[in-house]
């Protein structure tokens, strides 16, 4: 594209396209505010933008494409220019896209037009495109388009739909009436239990304000709702509500704000519990609340601990709040053998680990075998009538049993076993609650096991006793995925020791190893506990910094350089003053993986080393 043509559509890009796109790459680069009419600057921004930018003539032939378009389609720019766009459009999208282009060429602008393109390797990519006709000053650029790859967004939207469906299933399956209100007090969700309790169907109440607030309670509800919008939660607030037939019932309300990723309150969830027969139903209601709390605590444990033994303890502690029992244990499965990993109970005795763990062959143990095959919980009203039941002298007091399999991806990895000293103690309700809890435990166990497997891969460097390259990459990949999932920052620092070869040449590699170990110890004392630090190879060290942006990472790099240079490393062979050159990089949307992030930091380190060398030569 000629320079004068780039100048000509500046105003169009700024007013007709860029301002209509939600934070495009061009906006993030300051495209519309910082660029004047200089053609070279325009060319640089257009060619290297991550958004796909291209122009078409009135026949639909491509007249110019940027590098992002070339990379996506797999053809060179020379192969694409002059080619009709419809040749790379999915066949099923050609007709409606051609119709859209006819509207564009007649002067209309398009907004969020979606279609698929087919790359050279037959990969299909869904794009969202905007653009319109643009008249140039010396010749006509018939149309200009900016497009974005929607693949990642579609995947994210799909996951969000799954999460939303799961949330709706939990709400709709709740035995307690639940409604979700927006910040204006409009009902957005009304579950079947609420329909049954109050008489209004979801179709007639969603989109309206709550109709079941008595006049005399309205002021108190208004004050309470204002405080809810401010972030307050309510638990067990006794009040009164109307049913559709005019009956007033006593209820206990609980509420909690639902926040978005930026901690802004989007809506408020309210649970209502009928307490008219409170005394008679007190125990049942207490168990319901404890179930919700225990499940919540298990979810918190899933996110708060990756220590397997700690997780098992939390599971046993929480299960006591869900299903009553005299003793409980968690069995884990290895090669068809179930063994007790954690146990609580048996009178006054409590133990995290039995002295001689009971080991059972699943195929030879009917209760475990049945749960393993069916995937369902099991209740035994009286263990004394089962001749195959195995118990120690200490367990002789056990009379009834409830168990549930812990399953991960359709495979039984363990069992939750509860025992009571009372015959016929457990009911189907207990079994359902135990199964729900076992499902939560399965998620937590799988998460911690995956984490421990990664930890085993993160072996240490034999010289410095810090992580080696493999360890840094494995743990760094987890941090990068976490940063992407929660849209947090992640940076990396590559430190290269200056002229370290002279130490080895002058004093030998054994002394060099001692110096490296001292350097690693020094750097370890300077980095945070959450940082991932290791020896990347030779005289290079790498630090992965979660939750740190580029500016803070540069400050950290300077602090580490200063820590090395200001105080010598002491060894038996003497003291060594060491300096280092640093390269810093930050994860972006285009960062492929942690190796890519490290590679960028490494390249920046070599740039810094080159600049330092050139500066030294100039001084000399």
- How many other β-carbons are positioned within 10 Å of the β-carbon of residue 376? 11
Q: In this predicted structure, what is the pLDDT of residue 30?
A: 45
Q: In this predicted structure, what is the pLDDT of residue 545?
A: 95
Higher pLDDT, 124 or 103: 124
| Nearest-angstrom CA–CA distance, 41 and 178 | 57
Q: In this predicted structure, what is the pLDDT of residue 15?
A: 46
Q: In this predicted structure, what is the pLDDT of residue 14?
A: 46
**Which residue from 365, 366, 364, 431 is spatially nearest to 404, judged by alpha carbons?**
431
Higher pLDDT, 488 or 307: 488
Q: In this predicted structure, what is the pLDDT of residue 393?
A: 60
Residues in the chain: 620
Interval 539-595: pLDDT, tens: 999 999 999 999 999 999 999 999 999 999 988 888 899 999 999 999 999 999 999
Q: In this predicted structure, what is the pLDDT of residue 35?
A: 43
83 pLDDT band, cuts 50/70/90, is very high
**Residue 4 in tokens:** 């004068």
CB-count burial class (<10 Å; 0-12, 13-18, 19+) for 203 = exposed
Interval 6-50: pLDDT, tens: 444 444 444 444 444 444 444 444 444 444 445 556 667 778 888
Distances (CA, A) of 539 to 200, 201, 467, 498, 517: 72, 70, 14, 9, 11
Higher pLDDT, 231 or 377: 377
| Percent of the chain's residues with pLDDT above 70 | 82
Higher pLDDT, 162 or 489: 489
Angle of the 509-526 helix axis to the 550-566 helix axis, nearest 10: 130
Q: In this predicted structure, what is the pLDDT of residue 453?
A: 66
Structural element, H or E, at residue 604: helix 594-619
Return the minimum-mean-pLDDT range out of 317-326, 386-395, 410-419, 507-516: 386-395
| Nearest-angstrom CA–CA distance, 293 and 438 | 15
**pLDDT of 599 higher than 90:** yes
Which whole number is the average pLDDT over 302-315? 74
Mean pLDDT rounded to a whole number for the chain: 82
**Which residue from 223, 241, 240 is spatially nearest to 232, judged by alpha carbons?**
223
* Listed ranges 44-48, 89-93, 172-176; the one with the highest mean pLDDT: 89-93
Higher pLDDT, 185 or 290: 185
230 pLDDT band, cuts 50/70/90, is confident
Q: In this predicted structure, what is the pLDDT of residue 372?
A: 93
442 pLDDT band, cuts 50/70/90, is confident
274 pLDDT band, cuts 50/70/90, is confident
**Residue 2 in tokens:** 């000629």
Interval 387-409: pLDDT, tens: 777 666 666 788 899 999 999 88
| Percent of the chain's residues with pLDDT above 90 | 32
Which whole number is the average pLDDT over 352-376? 81
Interval 327-346: pLDDT, tens: 999 999 988 999 998 888 75
**pLDDT of 157 higher than 90:** no
Which whole number is the average pLDDT over 479-486? 90
Interval 459-480: pLDDT, tens: 678 888 889 998 899 889 999 9
| Nearest-angstrom CA–CA distance, 557 and 550 | 10
Non-local (6+) Cβ contacts of 199 within 8 A are: 243, 244, 245
Q: In this predicted structure, what is the pLDDT of residue 9?
A: 44
Which whole number is the average pLDDT over 168-196? 89
């Amino acid at each position: 594209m000629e320079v004068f043509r780039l100048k000509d559509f500046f105003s169009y890009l700024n007013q007709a396209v860029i301002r209509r796109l939600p934070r495009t790459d061009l906006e993030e680069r300051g495209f519309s505010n910082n660029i004047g009419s200089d053609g070279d600057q325009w060319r640089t921004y257009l060619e290297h933008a991550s958004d796909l930018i291209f122009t078409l003539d009135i026949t639909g032939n491509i007249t110019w494409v940027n590098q992002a378009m070339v990379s996506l389609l797999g053809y060179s720019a020379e192969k694409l220019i002059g080619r009709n766009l419809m040749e790379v459009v999915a066949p099923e999208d050609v007709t409606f896209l051609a119709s859209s282009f006819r509207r564009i060429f007649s002067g209309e602008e398009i907004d969020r037009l979606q279609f698929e393109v087919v790359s050279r390797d037959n990969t299909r990519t869904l794009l969202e495109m905007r653009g319109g006709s643009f008249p140039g000053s010396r010749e006509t650029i018939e149309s200009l388009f900016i497009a974005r790859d929607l693949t990642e967004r579609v995947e994210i939207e799909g996951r969000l739909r799954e999460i939303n469906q799961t949330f709706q299933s939990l709400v709709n399956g709740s035995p307690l009436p639940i409604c979700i209100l927006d910040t204006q007090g409009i009902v957005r969700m009304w579950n079947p239990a609420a329909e049954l309790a109050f008489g209004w169907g979801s179709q007639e109440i969603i989109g309206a304000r709550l109709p079941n607030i008595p006049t005399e309670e309205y002021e108190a509800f208004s004050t309470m709702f204002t405080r809810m919008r401010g972030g307050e939660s309510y638990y067990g607030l006794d009040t009164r509500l109307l049913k559709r037939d005019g009956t007033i019932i006593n209820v206990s309300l609980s509420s909690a704000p639902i926040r978005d990723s930026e901690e802004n309150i989007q809506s408020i969830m309210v649970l209502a519990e009928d307490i008219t027969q409170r005394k008679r139903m007190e125990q049942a209601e207490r168990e319901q609340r404890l179930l919700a709390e225990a499940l919540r605590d298990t979810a918190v444990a899933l996110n708060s601990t990756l220590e397997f033994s700690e997780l098992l303890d939390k599971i046993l502690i929480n299960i006591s709040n869900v299903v009553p029992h005299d003793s409980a244990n968690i069995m884990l499965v290895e090669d068809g053998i179930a063994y007790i990993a954690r146990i609580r109970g048996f009178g006054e005795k409590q133990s995290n680990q039995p002295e001689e763990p009971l080991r059972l062959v699943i195929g030879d143990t009917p209760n475990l075998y049945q749960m393993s095959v069916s995937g369902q919980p099991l209740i035994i009203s009286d263990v004394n009538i089962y001749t195959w039941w195995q118990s120690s002298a200490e367990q002789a007091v056990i009379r009834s049993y409830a168990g549930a399999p812990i399953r991960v991806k359709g495979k039984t990895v363990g069992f939750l076993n509860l025992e009571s000293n009372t015959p016929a103690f457990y009911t189907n309700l207990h079994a359902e609650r135990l199964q729900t809890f076992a499902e939560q435990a399965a998620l937590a166990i799988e998460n911690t096991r995956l984490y421990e497997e990664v930890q085993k891969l993160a072996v240490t460097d034999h010289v410095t006793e810090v992580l080696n390259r493999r360890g840094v990459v494995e743990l760094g990949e987890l941090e990068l995925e976490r940063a992407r999932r929660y849209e947090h920052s992640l940076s990396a620092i590559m430190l290269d020791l200056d002229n370290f070869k002279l130490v080895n040449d002058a004093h030998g590699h054994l002394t060099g190893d001692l110096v490296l170990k001292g350097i690693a110890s020094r750097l370890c004392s300077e980095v945070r506990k959450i940082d991932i630090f290791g020896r990347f190879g030779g005289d290079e060290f790498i630090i992965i910094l979660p939750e740190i942006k580029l500016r803070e990472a540069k400050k950290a790099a300077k602090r580490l350089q200063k820590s090395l240079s200001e105080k010598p490393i002491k060894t038996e062979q003497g003291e060594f003053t060491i300096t280092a050159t640093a390269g810093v990089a930050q994860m972006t949307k285009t960062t492929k993986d942690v190796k890519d992030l490290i590679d960028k930091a490494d390249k920046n380190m070599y740039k810094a080393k080159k600049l330092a060398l050139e500066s030294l030569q100039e001084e000399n």
